[in-house]
Amino acid sequence: MMVLTPTEVVPAVTRSRSIVINLDDTLNNFTETLRHGDFPYSPAYSLSEATFEQYLRKIRNGDPEPGDLFSTSYSYCCFKIHLQCWRQARARPGGVEFMQWLKRNQWQIIICAQRDLRRAHDCTRAWLQENDIPFDHLFMAADKVAFCKAWDIRHLVDRETVDVGQDCLSEANVYYSIMPGHQPLPAHHARSFETFAEVKRWIHE
């Protein structure tokens, strides 16, 4: 599913020099914050403290919603914990410098977040502004490769080994930051990077 924030479109005249950047675990340390952050119990969760602690353990592990319902006490708790993470997460210095370099060099920057921007749009924009991260558009997109294909954007910086097929390079050049647990993809599918300096070099190739 791909959801665009209201009134925002990607102008066709600049797509050849556009780049899509993931937010969580690419420009910030979301997973580290989630796993090690302090999230005290509050009656506002409308849960018993024991249930809250059980849910928190599952949320830290990234466990999905256990049932088929769209909205449950677990999904609500998960959103509230993630919301705290989005506000508390630290920006990656190399990522901030990279984004500022893109802006100085007149790239059109599209940030694609998998988080629910319908509920977290304002806090997301505030965090980007507080951390001096420039961008032109902010979208919600679960499948960023499909997003790049739809808008004919050639470069994607993501956080994980996305599911890309043999023809992924016909859709986008995918670069993903190395994190614990990654299984590197074949070189012709996507490129893993440890520093954004590598991405700077690749987008000029």
User: What is the span of the domain harbouring residue 155?
Assistant: 2-28+91-202
Amino acid at position 202, single letter = W
Q: What is the CATH number of the domain that holds 198?
A: 3.40.50.1000
- pTM of the prediction? 0.83
Domain count, the chain: 2
CB atoms < 10 A from the CB of 56, how many? 18
Q: Say if residue 149 is in the same domain as residue 173.
A: yes
Q: Say if residue 20 is in the same domain as residue 36.
A: no
Read off the pLDDT of residues 16-32 as tens digits, 9 standing for 90 and up: 699 999 999 999 999 99
Q: How far is CA 106 from CA 72, 127, 198, in A?
A: 44, 22, 19
Q: Say if residue 21 is in the same domain as residue 38.
A: no
Q: Say if residue 118 is in the same domain as residue 197.
A: yes
Contact 115, 82 (CB under 8 A): yes
Put residue 106 in one of left, alpha, beta given phi > 0 → left and psi -120 to 50 → alpha: left
Q: Say if residue 71 is in the same domain as residue 163.
A: no
Query: Worst-scoring range by mean pLDDT, 3-7, 39-43, 65-69, 142-146?
Result: 3-7
Overall average pLDDT of the 159-163 stretch: 62
